[in-house]
A and B are shown apart, each in its own frame.
Chain A
Amino acid sequence: MADSDKEHLHKELPVIQPTEMKGQHYWKSLRQFYNDPSAIEAKAHEFMEGVVDDFKLSNLTDMSRRKFLALLAASASFAASGCSLYQSKGEVIPYNKEPVGVIPGIPDYYASTCSGCKHACGILVKTREGRPIKINGNDEHPVSKGKACARGQGSILNLYDPERLREPMKKDGSGFSSVSWQAADTAIIEELNKAASAGKEIAVVMNTLNSPTAKRVLDDLAAKYQTVKLYSYELFDDLTRQSAWTKSYGAGSYPLIDWDKAKLILSLESDFLGNEGNTIENARLYTATRNNADLKNFSRLVVFESGMSLTGMNADLRLRLRPELQYDLVMSLLNEFVVKRQTSRYALDKGIIDALQGYSIEKFAAESEIDPKSMDSIISYMAKYKNASILYAGDRLPEQVHVAVNLLNDVLGSTALYRKDQSEAVILPYSSLEEWKTLVAGMNSGNVAVVVHLGTNPVYHLPKSVGYADALAKVPTVVTLSQTESETSAASDWVLPTNHDLESWNDFKTRTGFYSLQQPVIYPLYVNRQKEAVLLTWAAGSESAYHDTLYHDYMMARWEKEVYPPLRLAVGFKEFWFSGLDVGVVSFNEQAEGFDSFNVAAFTSSVAPSAAKGFTVTLAESYFLGDGRFANNGWLQELPHPVTKVVWDNYAALAPATAKELNVDYNDLVEVTVEGNNLKLPVWIQPGMAEKVVAVELGYGRTHAGTVGSDVGFNANILQTSGGAFSQWINSSASVSRADGTFEIITTMEHHSLDNKLVENMQFNRGIIREGTVEEYGKEPNFIQQERKEDEPTTIYKNYEYNGIKWGMAIDLNKCTGCSACVISCNVENNIPVVGKDQVKVSREMQWIRIDRYYSGPPVEPRISLQPMLCQQCDDAPCENVCPVAATTHSPDGLNMMVYNRCIGTRYCSNNCPYKVRRFNFFNYRHHFDGEYYLKQPAPMVSNPEVTVRTRGVMEKCTFCVQRLVQAKQDALQEGKEFTGSGVVVACQEACPTRAITFGNVNDKESEVAKLREHPLGYYVLEQLDTKPNVTYLAKLRNV
């Protein structure tokens, strides 16, 4: 890659207007954009060069030929000597006492709540024989509405992580030794008593506290030990958004947004579809405005951002802007509307007019090098849809920008889009950086005697300038309650194992008007305890206070006394409680927070944020690892990044021009320095980035995360600033320079590319991606069909007639945001193994569904098209013709079947698949990955018993979740019903937060999928090949 790739840095970038739509060239990487011969060559092959012939003995299992023969001889002699038992089929072990309601083979579902992040979405956990095997969304939950994100679904693997802490540990010299809970509790209670009586602080550190009952437990603890103080944080919080709101409107918290009523969304350095707020809800509401049947209410998404985010990928118009210029942008827009267009009552406000002096659109356009025409089009759109244009600033921007955005929304009347039905509930506000600094000072001076970490990892998270890690060493007693080891647990005196979500009781209140209940679906796997129960034991002052149902009883008692009576229900408490657990959500009447009028002084008194002109470093949360808490989860590590498709790493993303300026290429190391802290990171050249900006994701580079997650990527947390300059996560006075050496980043973006080297731009000519504009579609709804006609296929086969059910899928590309929840859902449902970075490097990732990301237009400001790609279940499947052993054949209901026990691994099928969706088990990946990590107990328990676990040498691919189809058919037939194929949900469809995926029987003309097959926007990928695929893609419409 390196040498041939460097050429592109020295080529002049072609100038293409970003609004130009037709005749575009789609590309997946810069190598493809510049028609690098190796990239074109690669598309002609199924496997990467050298992948199929690099047989290294060391990669194989430990079994040598000699050993094999010896074992063969030994087993033959054993078999001979034990002839009488050759028929033995082993034992079949039933339950001793059957648990109530459990019938082996029939799954049970329990409503619960995910506490993987602060949003606490409702989940429905599928269990088999008492063992949780899949997490789905809970339909009854008013926010997540039946969907769970990639992290939430992947978190099931954390329950079975072989490296979860199994027993309490006490620091013993440089290591740890196991102790009993009794000993640990007794010693800690003694320390707490000592601290309280000496008047020394007991600091309890946690992430977002969103459970009212847990808050009560902490209050109890504080009542028993008077010196308890609570601290909470998130690696990425919304403190600036909230403080700006309080300044702007006097009180309350930032309202939720009615995204589904917006006509124009102006996102300023915000990733509301990927990382900010409840992204499940945001994506659902946003895509409600991307309905091709409702062009009138089709929204327009304009994104001003420096890096390339998931939200930016989905933008109709995406403009590169350095974060320091966001303030100028908002001010010049304010100037345009308040001063020039005299919009709103503020047009007469002298203070505001004064503050806006010196800002104008023309000046901003010149400064930011943004095309003034783009600005004009945005402004005219805003003027046209005044009450329906929402500006949304990112959490990472400074307070001044947020205040100005609040004012602009007020000016435009967009306050109409602030939700009145619900608002966020805050149980414990986050601690500010100042409070942390006070705590650290206390720790250093000996005023803090005990620090308790409640499942959190501040040693890794908090900015280096806070000095938390060093101060912690001076605290006499440090207790960490955690599921797994962490940087913080390594620095603790006591480490206590806690429950996973699926083993816990709790109640969550994230919004007004409802509680979301969490109930355990499995008994704690080890001697781990729920952290609230541990705190209650301490609050009781004696280790003997603990019993298994301690927190459960406590929570029920609180509900019986406090939650249940005001509801004035006709049913008894027990009935109420059990129906609440059954549904998972308890709703009640509660007013959302309102807000008054905008406080002008907040705006006029704020000064422009200082911004030095240097390199700007922006830090963002990893999409799948979160703040690093999912680092030891192989599924999430191997899920390709939504934009860059990078796996198992983070990197410094640079614009192509910036890379050229620094004379660096992909994988070259650069040294990034922020406030004296420096870090070497590999370069990722990201088309569409603003120049002189370095974007880095946090959550990587953990040192104590476990076998899978430790030393993956780079710990960029040290690049967080103390918040003074611009914001904690954006620093505009950083320096970046080229460093020696390289580090290889692995991306799947060029893997499995669909193309043909014979003709350039085949992707476009062959219509893999077809799209148009809303205007075009409004004028001529059949424009896609007209394009398709040119490719009318012919066939020499006689078509098979599908008389009964024929399965088909439709994917609406207008609704796909690239969130990748479908990929994880498929992984969990279909037992997809983790292969590791070395294997992804040679294109051996095993995921059955991938999200292809195509760029089009110039690398400076590319446009992005997304396309989930899975087995197309072709009627005339090319794979079937070439299998020498008939291991892949066609079913009468239109499935392209794959029979593992028949496959001999010739890989002909994969070679003949134009969609490149077949995956070959080059190894038995469960044996191969990281020292058989996912074979260690209890990790194999996560497997879905309805799907075969494939072994080495076997081809596999998407089956349309055939296990669910067969089950649904059997269920219907044995109940004596006719099976029409309605109501069957496949795993990717189940997970899609925006309902982009529709599945069903295409022979049932009433079914949704049959209608979508006839949709004017519908097309098939590579239909010219006459494979007759059964996945219909609905072309994306852009509102430009």
Chain B
Amino acid sequence: MNRTLLEYTLRVRLPILIFVALASITVTYFVTRPAREGIGYAPEQPIPFSHKLHAGTMKIDCAYCHIGVYRSRYAVIPPASTCMNCHKYAMKTSPFIIKLTRYYDENKPIPWKRVHRLPDYVYFSHSFHVNAGIKCQSCHGDVQDMSVVKQVSSFTMSACLDCHKNARTRLSYIPNIKPGPTYCVACHR
């Protein structure tokens, strides 16, 4: 009796247990991967700024607000003063523009929720990539169609390297694009 129970446990239950455990780990790993990498993250912003309206319908150039994107490592989140260039006059009665104006007048920065983030030890340069002809959409998705900005692609090292190695297929819209560097100090210092 004892012997058969042990045998049953070892031969049947244990393998099933291990299989189930491994299978659930594997499935969980792949199923939750996009979410863990932040894909789909779309936080509620203090002011529900719509890229769809501004960049899509009104076709304001990305660099009008993100002034660093051609020149600096950072694309730069625009200061409230940039919003006020128009909203001193436009939509002045909208409750969110009133909120915006209050931030501006009280000299408080707007606490935007961060959507995209690279670890501190990564030194990514927007200007270098954008000046090489890479479209914002290649990493950030079709922002001009988003009412609420969300992360659409992965920002892991393997995602970076995937594009750096396979630039010709991933960025086929740029003629003669060269693969990016894959050595460490290109991004880490």
Q: When the two chains form their complex, are residues A87 and B79 in contact, meaning their CB atoms are under 8 A apart? A: no
Q: In the complex, what residues of A have CB within 8 A of residue B117's CB?
A: 89-90
Taking the closest CB of chain A, its distance from the CB of B36, in whole angstroms, is 8
Taking the closest CB of chain B, its distance from the CB of A168, in whole angstroms, is 27
B24-41 interface (Cβ within 8 A of A) = 35, 38, 41
C-alpha spacing A947/B82, complex, angstroms:
30
Q: Give the bracket for the number of chain A residues in contact with chain B.
A: 35 or more
Q: When the two chains form their complex, are residues A106 and B68 in contact, meaning their CB atoms are under 8 A apart? A: yes
Question: Which residue on B lies nearest to A890, using beta carbons?
Answer: B183
Taking the closest CB of chain B, its distance from the CB of A949, in whole angstroms, is 9
Whether a CB of chain A sits under 8 angstroms from the CB of B170 is no
Taking the closest CB of chain B, its distance from the CB of A961, in whole angstroms, is 9
Question: Which residue on B lies nearest to A965, using beta carbons?
Answer: B185
Whether a CB of chain A sits under 8 angstroms from the CB of B112 is yes
Whether a CB of chain A sits under 8 angstroms from the CB of B111 is yes
Q: When the two chains form their complex, are residues B183 and A891 in contact, meaning their CB atoms are under 8 A apart? A: yes
Question: Which residue on B lies nearest to A960, using beta carbons?
Answer: B185
State whether A106 and B72 are in contact (beta carbons under 8 Å apart), knowing that A96-B103, A96-B107 are contacts in the complex: yes
Whether a CB of chain B sits under 8 angstroms from the CB of A885 is no
A77-118 interface (Cβ within 8 A of B) = 87-98, 103-106
Q: When the two chains form their complex, are residues B68 and A91 in contact, meaning their CB atoms are under 8 A apart? A: no
Whether a CB of chain B sits under 8 angstroms from the CB of A662 is no
Q: When the two chains form their complex, are residues B68 and A104 in contact, meaning their CB atoms are under 8 A apart? A: yes
Whether a CB of chain B sits under 8 angstroms from the CB of A385 is no
Q: When the two chains form their complex, are residues B120 and A948 in contact, meaning their CB atoms are under 8 A apart? A: yes
Whether a CB of chain A sits under 8 angstroms from the CB of B81 is yes
Q: In the complex, what residues of B have CB within 8 A of residue A899's CB?
A: 184-185, 188
Question: Residues 101-114 of chain B: 1 if any A CB is under 8 Å from the residue's CB, otherwise 0?
Answer: 00110011111111
C-alpha spacing A679/B72, complex, angstroms:
57
Q: Which of A899, A902, A947 has the most CB of B within 10 A?
A: A899
Q: When the two chains form their complex, are residues B186 and A966 in contact, meaning their CB atoms are under 8 A apart? A: yes
**Binding stretch for chain A, among B54-62, B89-97, B126-134:** B126-134
State whether A96 and B79 are in contact (beta carbons under 8 Å apart), knowing that A104-B74, A970-B125 are contacts in the complex: yes
C-alpha spacing A892/B80, complex, angstroms:
44
Determine which of A88, A105, A895 lies in contact with B68 in the assembled complex, contact meaning CB atoms within 8 Å: A105
C-alpha spacing A457/B70, complex, angstroms:
50
Whether a CB of chain A sits under 8 angstroms from the CB of B177 is no
Q: In the complex, what residues of A have CB within 8 A of residue B114's CB?
A: 89-92
A764-816 interface (Cβ within 8 A of B) = none
State whether A95 and B127 are in contact (beta carbons under 8 Å apart), knowing that A889-B184, A901-B121, A966-B185 are contacts in the complex: no
Q: When the two chains form their complex, are residues B82 and A98 in contact, meaning their CB atoms are under 8 A apart? A: yes
C-alpha spacing A973/B104, complex, angstroms:
38
Q: When the two chains form their complex, are residues B188 and A94 in contact, meaning their CB atoms are under 8 A apart? A: no
Q: In the complex, what residues of A have CB within 8 A of residue B19's CB?
A: none
Q: In the complex, what residues of A have CB within 8 A of residue B67's CB?
A: 103
Determine which of A91, A104, A891 lies in contact with B111 in the assembled complex, contact meaning CB atoms within 8 Å: A91
Question: Which residue on A lies nearest to B46, using beta carbons?
Answer: A91
Q: When the two chains form their complex, are residues B78 and A96 in contact, meaning their CB atoms are under 8 A apart? A: no
Q: In the complex, what residues of B have CB within 8 A of residue A973's CB?
A: 128, 132
Determine which of A93, A94, A106, A962 lies in contact with B185 in the assembled complex, contact meaning CB atoms within 8 Å: A962
C-alpha spacing A891/B67, complex, angstroms:
32
Q: When the two chains form their complex, are residues B125 and A897 in contact, meaning their CB atoms are under 8 A apart? A: no
Taking the closest CB of chain B, its distance from the CB of A418, in whole angstroms, is 49
C-alpha spacing A94/B81, complex, angstroms:
10
Whether a CB of chain A sits under 8 angstroms from the CB of B16 is no
Whether a CB of chain B sits under 8 angstroms from the CB of A564 is no
Q: In the complex, what residues of B have CB within 8 A of residue A88's CB?
A: 43, 113
Q: When the two chains form their complex, are residues B68 and A94 in contact, meaning their CB atoms are under 8 A apart? A: no
Q: In the complex, what residues of A have CB within 8 A of residue B186's CB?
A: 966
Whether a CB of chain A sits under 8 angstroms from the CB of B88 is no
Q: When the two chains form their complex, are residues A897 and B43 in contact, meaning their CB atoms are under 8 A apart? A: no
Q: In the complex, what residues of A have CB within 8 A of residue B116's CB?
A: 89
State whether A106 and B71 are in contact (beta carbons under 8 Å apart), knowing that A89-B38, A963-B123, A966-B189 are contacts in the complex: yes
Whether a CB of chain A sits under 8 angstroms from the CB of B115 is yes
Whether a CB of chain B sits under 8 angstroms from the CB of A959 is yes
Determine which of A103, A895, A946, A974 lies in contact with B76 in the assembled complex, contact meaning CB atoms within 8 Å: A103
Q: In the complex, what residues of A have CB within 8 A of residue B185's CB?
A: 891, 895, 897, 899, 959, 962, 966
C-alpha spacing A973/B108, complex, angstroms:
38
Determine which of B79, B120, B127, B184 lies in contact with A970 in the assembled complex, contact meaning CB atoms within 8 Å: B127
Q: In the complex, what residues of B have CB within 8 A of residue A90's CB?
A: 113-114, 117
Question: Residues 150-185 of chain B: 1 if any A CB is under 8 Å from the residue's CB, otherwise 0?
Answer: 000000000000000000000000000000010111
User: Interface of chain B, helix or strand or loop or mixed?
Assistant: loop
Determine which of B82, B108, B110, B123 lies in contact with A966 in the assembled complex, contact meaning CB atoms within 8 Å: B123
C-alpha spacing A712/B76, complex, angstroms:
45
A948-978 interface (Cβ within 8 A of B) = 948, 959, 962-963, 966, 970, 973-974
Determine which of A95, A889, A974 lies in contact with B183 in the assembled complex, contact meaning CB atoms within 8 Å: A889
Q: In the complex, what residues of A have CB within 8 A of residue B22's CB?
A: none
Q: In the complex, what residues of A have CB within 8 A of residue B78's CB?
A: 94
Whether a CB of chain A sits under 8 angstroms from the CB of B73 is yes
C-alpha spacing A104/B132, complex, angstroms:
20
Whether a CB of chain A sits under 8 angstroms from the CB of B10 is no
Q: When the two chains form their complex, are residues B72 and A105 in contact, meaning their CB atoms are under 8 A apart? A: yes
Q: In the complex, what residues of A have CB within 8 A of residue B77's CB?
A: 92-94
Whether a CB of chain B sits under 8 angstroms from the CB of A436 is no
C-alpha spacing A186/B132, complex, angstroms:
62
Whether a CB of chain B sits under 8 angstroms from the CB of A900 is yes
Q: When the two chains form their complex, are residues B189 and A959 in contact, meaning their CB atoms are under 8 A apart? A: yes
Q: In the complex, what residues of A have CB within 8 A of residue B80's CB?
A: 94-97
C-alpha spacing A414/B9, complex, angstroms:
103
Q: Which of A98, A895, A959 has the most CB of B within 10 A?
A: A98
Determine which of A95, A948, A966 lies in contact with B79 in the assembled complex, contact meaning CB atoms within 8 Å: A95
Q: When the two chains form their complex, are residues A92 and B112 in contact, meaning their CB atoms are under 8 A apart? A: yes
Determine which of A98, A948, A962, A974 lies in contact with B132 in the assembled complex, contact meaning CB atoms within 8 Å: A974
Taking the closest CB of chain B, its distance from the CB of A530, in whole angstroms, is 25
Question: Which residue on A lies nearest to B186, using beta carbons?
Answer: A966
C-alpha spacing A947/B188, complex, angstroms:
9
Question: Which residue on A lies nearest to B127, using beta carbons?
Answer: A974
Taking the closest CB of chain A, its distance from the CB of B148, in whole angstroms, is 14
Q: In the complex, what residues of B have CB within 8 A of residue A96's CB?
A: 79-81, 103-104, 107-110
Q: When the two chains form their complex, are residues B81 and A98 in contact, meaning their CB atoms are under 8 A apart? A: yes
Question: Which residue on B lies nearest to A889, using beta carbons?
Answer: B184
C-alpha spacing A106/B132, complex, angstroms:
19
Taking the closest CB of chain A, its distance from the CB of B46, in whole angstroms, is 9
Q: In the complex, what residues of A have CB within 8 A of residue B119's CB?
A: 901
C-alpha spacing A902/B187, complex, angstroms:
13
Q: In the complex, what residues of A have CB within 8 A of residue B120's CB?
A: 948
Q: When the two chains form their complex, are residues B188 and A91 in contact, meaning their CB atoms are under 8 A apart? A: no
Question: Which residue on A lies nearest to B116, using beta carbons?
Answer: A89
C-alpha spacing A895/B181, complex, angstroms:
14
C-alpha spacing A902/B128, complex, angstroms:
25
State whether A947 and B81 are in contact (beta carbons under 8 Å apart), knowing that A104-B68, A889-B184, A891-B184 are contacts in the complex: no
Determine which of A93, A106, A966 lies in contact with B109 in the assembled complex, contact meaning CB atoms within 8 Å: A93
Q: When the two chains form their complex, are residues B72 and A91 in contact, meaning their CB atoms are under 8 A apart? A: no
Taking the closest CB of chain A, its distance from the CB of B80, in whole angstroms, is 5
C-alpha spacing A412/B183, complex, angstroms:
62
C-alpha spacing A973/B178, complex, angstroms:
12
Taking the closest CB of chain B, its distance from the CB of A101, in whole angstroms, is 11
C-alpha spacing A966/B183, complex, angstroms:
12
Taking the closest CB of chain A, its distance from the CB of B90, in whole angstroms, is 19
Q: Other than the known A89-B41, A105-B74, what 10 A-B pairs have Cβ atoms closer than 8 Å?
A: A92-B113, A93-B112, A94-B76, A94-B112, A105-B76, A892-B181, A897-B188, A900-B121, A948-B120, A974-B132
The chain B residues found within 8 Å of chain A, CB to CB, are 35, 38, 41, 43, 67-68, 71-74, 76-82, 103-104, 107-117, 119-121, 123, 125, 127-128, 131-132, 181, 183-186, 188-189
Ranked nearest first, the 5 interchain pairs of A and B with the lowest CB-CB distance are A105-B72, A974-B131, A95-B79, A89-B114, A94-B77
The chain A residues found within 8 Å of chain B, CB to CB, are 87-98, 103-106, 889, 891-892, 895, 897, 899-902, 946-948, 959, 962-963, 966, 970, 973-974
Q: List 10 A-B contacts (CB under 8 A).
A: A91-B113, A94-B80, A94-B109, A96-B104, A97-B104, A103-B72, A106-B72, A892-B181, A901-B119, A948-B121
